[in-house]
């Protein structure tokens, strides 16, 4: 899953299964899994215009999501749509930004169809204590090679560099296209919605640090895994940093007023929220509270939170 928004999906310029050219080296294929968490659906990015390509975030498979059935639309599966888009080119690498089920499950069938290695983020080692939202994780993700921050892979006319961006998940990577200054941001930065940060695998302090890391870069355009391309990247990132700081101030105010449990805070902070998104909003508030707890600003007794005097 990516973000959360009550906004109605934008009328996308393409239908699920179709392929659209965004710049000479970059194409997009839309997966058929629209939802409040995935917007118009997962976007699979294809990089390369020569003899070979990289495929970023191959997307979901049929059993991967509880919302809709993304395996089949009009009789055409998403993997088939990717294969059609790259006809005549060799798939040199399958890259995954992270292992949520709307991003990585199709890596395995795509590898089977093309023989390409799966490269990119690490598999996620899940700790097993505490409540979690791990139903959204892909437990079967098995990379052939894991990239660390700054590592590059290249093909015919393209070079992709891994940019470690933990926060949305601990294993999240963005990929920079060296030749054009584009950055594939996965679920780390999206224009349509703030990113879901759900503990324990989502970490608000790490997320903020990863936002600052992108703010210090000079990427020309972002291609997120959901929603429109971002043509003013630093402006958006600055706004997101500000938004998170504002949420933190709101939480501190709620605690000052004596609100101590998360569902009450969500009710006050997210007016008119789509009921389907209250769980995700609560996880986000929890992520802020854990960050504040780690900084010694708040403490908890079971489900009740309070300011530290
Ligand atoms: Zn995600």
Ligand 1 center–CA 209 separation, angstroms: 17
Structure tokens at 175: 């990929």
> pLDDT value at position 54?
98
Condensed to tens digits (0 to 9), the pLDDT of residues 55-71 reads 999 999 864 333 344 44
Expressed in angstroms and rounded, the spacing between residue 301 Cα and the centre of ligand 1 is 30
pLDDT of residue 2: 66
pLDDT at 301: 94
Instruction: Give me the chain's average pLDDT, please.
Output: 89
Q: Is 188 exposed, middle or buried (CB count within 10 Å of its CB: 0-12, 13-18, 19+)? A: buried
Ligand 1 centre to CA of 104 (Å) is: 10
Task: State residue 76's pLDDT score.
Answer: 54
Distance between CA atoms of residues 205 and 166, nearest Å: 9
Q: Could you tell me which of 271, 298, 269, 273 has the C-alpha nearest to residue 285?
A: 269
Give me the pLDDT at residue 52, please: 98
pLDDT (mean) for 76-84: 87
Please give the C-alpha separations between residue 269 and each of 73, 179, 251, 285, 302, in angstroms, as whole numbers: 38, 43, 8, 10, 21
Q: Is the peptide bond before 200 cis (omega within 30 degrees of 0)?
A: yes
Residue 119 binned pLDDT confidence (cut-offs 50, 70, 90): very high
- At 271-288, the pLDDT tens digits run 888 888 888 899 999 999
Distance 168 CA to ligand 1 centre (A): 7
Percent of the residues in the chain that have a pLDDT greater than 70, as a whole number: 88
**Residue 201: pLDDT above 90?**
no
β partners of residue 107: none
What pLDDT was estimated at residue 110?
95
What distance in angstroms lies between residue 61's CA and the mean position of ligand 1's atoms? 15
Residue 145 pLDDT? 97
pLDDT at 69 (0 to 100) = 46
For residue 105, the tally of other CB atoms under 10 A from its CB is 28
When pLDDT is averaged across residues 130-141 and rounded to a whole number, the result is 68
Q: How confident is the model at residue 182 (pLDDT cuts 50, 70, 90)?
A: very high
Distance 216 CA to ligand 1 centre (A): 23
For residue 140, how far is its CA from the centre of ligand 1 (angstroms)? 16
The mean pLDDT of 220-235, rounded to a whole number, is 95
pLDDT at 96 over 90: yes
Q: Is pLDDT above 90 for 296? A: yes
Question: Which residue ranges make up each domain of the chain?
Answer: 18-231, 243-307
* Range name among 110-114, 132-136, 158-162, 239-243 with the lowest pLDDT average: 132-136
Q: For domain 18-231, give its CATH number from 2.40.50.100, 3.30.70.260, 3.40.50.720, 3.60.15.10.
A: 3.60.15.10
Residues surrounding ion ligand 1 at CB below 5 Å: 2, 100, 187
Which stretch of DSSP H or E encloses residue 253?
helix 233-257
Mean pLDDT of 171-200: 92
Alpha-carbon gap, residue 300 to 261, rounded angstroms: 10
- Is the pLDDT higher at 283 or at 76? 283
**If you classify domain 243-307 with CATH, what class do you get?**
mainly alpha
Quick check: 119 and 73 in contact, CB under 8 A? Answer: no
Least confident of 39-43, 144-148, 212-216: 39-43
Q: Is the pLDDT of residue 72 over 60?
A: no
Residue 196 alpha carbon to ligand 1 centre in Å? 7
Confidence of residue 11 (pLDDT cuts 50, 70, 90): low
Ligand 1 centroid – CA 92 distance (Å): 24
| pLDDT tens track for 103-113 | 999 999 999 99
């Amino acid at each position: 899953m990516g973000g959360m928004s009550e906004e109605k999906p934008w009328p996308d310029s393409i239908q699920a299964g179709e392929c659209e050219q965004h710049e000479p080296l970059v194409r997009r294929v839309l997966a058929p899994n629209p939802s409040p968490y995935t917007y118009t659906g997962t976007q699979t990015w294809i990089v390369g215009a020569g003899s070979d390509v990289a495929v970023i975030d191959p997307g979901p498979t049929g059993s991967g999501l509880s919302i809709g059935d993304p395996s089949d639309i009009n009789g055409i599966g998403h993997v088939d749509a990717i294969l059609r888009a790259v006809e005549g080119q060799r798939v040199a690498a399958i890259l995954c930004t992270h292992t949520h089920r709307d991003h990585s499950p199709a890596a395995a069938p795509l590898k089977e169809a093309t023989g390409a290695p799966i490269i990119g983020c690490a598999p996620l080692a899940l700790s097993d204590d505490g409540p979690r939202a791990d139903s959204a994780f892909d437990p079967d993700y098995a990379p052939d090679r894991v990239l660390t921050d700054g590592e590059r892979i290249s093909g015919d006319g393209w070079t992709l560099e891994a940019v470690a961006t933990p926060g949305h998940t601990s294993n999240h990577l963005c990929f920079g296209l060296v030749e054009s200054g584009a950055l594939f941001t996965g679920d780390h930065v999206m224009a349509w919605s703030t990113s879901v940060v759900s503990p324990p695998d989502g970490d608000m302090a790490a997320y903020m640090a990863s936002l600052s890391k992108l703010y210090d870069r000079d990427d020309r355009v972002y291609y997120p895994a959901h929603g429109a391309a971002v043509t003013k990247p630093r402006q958006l990132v600055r706004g997101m940093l500000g938004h998170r700081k504002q949420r933190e101030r709101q939480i501190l105010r709620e605690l000052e007023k004596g609100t101590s449990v998360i569902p009450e805070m969500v009710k006050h902070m997210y007016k008119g929220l789509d009921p389907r998104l209250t769980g995700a909003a609560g996880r986000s508030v929890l992520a802020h509270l854990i960050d504040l707890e780690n900084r010694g600003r708040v403490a908890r007794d079971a489900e009740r939170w309070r300011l530290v005097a």
